[in-house]
C-alpha cells in the first residue's frame, strides 16, 4: 500500500512540475518581439508597515481549505504562505506546496499577480485575468 501511495505521489509531482514549467513559460512571456521577459511584480514590505501577526508555520491542508472555500467566480484572492509548511504531518518545501495550491487556483481561473515578502512568509496575490 505504501509503495502504491509513493508511486501516485511521484506521478502527481511529475504532472504538477510539468504544469509549473508551463506556467513559468506563460508568466515570463514568450513574445518574439519583446526583448525583455514579462515578470510578475515582487514587492517587499517593511516589518513596520505590517505587524508580524502572520504565523511562520502552517499546513498545506489549511491552504487548500482556503482555496476550496473560495466563492465561485472570485475575481481576486490573497493567500499567505508561511515559510515552514507541513503536509500530512511531514515537512514540505514551499515550492511543492505552491505547485499544489497553484494547480487548484488555476482550476478556479485565478492567475498569479505577484506577492509581498514578509518576515514569516509570502502573501501571494491572484486575479481572474490571465497574465499578458
pLDDT (tens digit, 9 = 90+) per residue, 27-68?
A: 444 444 444 445 555 554 444 455 556 777 889 999 999 999
pLDDT of residue 64: 94
pLDDT value at residue 20: 58
In this prediction, residue 25 has a pLDDT band, given cuts at 50, 70 and 90, of: very low
pLDDT-based confidence at residue 26 (cuts at 50, 70, 90): very low
Rounded distance between C-alpha atoms, residue 117 and residue 80, angstroms: 10
Position 23 scores a pLDDT of: 52
pLDDT score for 57: 81
Q: What is the 3-state secondary structure (H, E, C) of the chain?
A: CHHHHHHHHHHHHHHHHHHHHHHHHHHCCCCCCCCCCCCCCEEECCCCCCCCCCCCEEEHHHHHHHHHCCCCCCCEEEEEEECEEEECCEEECHHHHHHHHHHHHHHCCCEEEEEEECCCEEEEEEECCCCC
- Specify the higher pLDDT residue, 7 or 97: 97
pLDDT in tens, 57-116: 889 999 999 999 999 888 999 999 998 999 999 999 988 999 999 999 999 999 999 999
**pLDDT for the residue numbered 76:** 93
pTM of the model: 0.58
Integer CA distances (angstroms), 45 to 1, 49, 56, 122, in order: 46, 7, 16, 10
Amino acid at each position: 500500500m505504501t509503495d502504491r501511495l509513493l508511486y501516485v505521489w511521484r506521478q502527481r509531482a511529475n504532472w504538477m512540475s510539468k504544469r509549473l514549467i508551463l506556467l513559468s513559460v506563460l508568466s515570463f512571456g514568450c513574445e518574439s518581439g519583446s526583448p525583455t521577459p514579462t515578470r510578475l511584480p515582487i514587492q517587499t514590505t517593511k516589518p513596520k508597515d505590517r505587524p508580524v501577526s502572520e504565523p511562520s508555520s502552517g499546513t498545506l491542508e489549511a491552504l487548500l481549505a482556503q482555496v476550496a472555500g473560495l466563492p465561485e467566480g472570485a475575481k481576486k484572492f490573497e493567500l499567505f504562505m508561511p515559510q515552514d509548511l507541513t503536509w500530512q504531518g511531514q515537512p514540505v518545501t514551499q515550492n511543492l506546496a505552491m505547485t499544489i495550491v497553484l494547480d487548484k487556483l488555476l482550476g478556479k481561473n485565478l492567475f498569479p499577480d505577484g506577492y509581498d515578502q514578509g518576515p514569516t512568509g509570502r502573501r501571494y496575490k491572484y486575479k481572474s485575468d490571465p497574465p499578458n
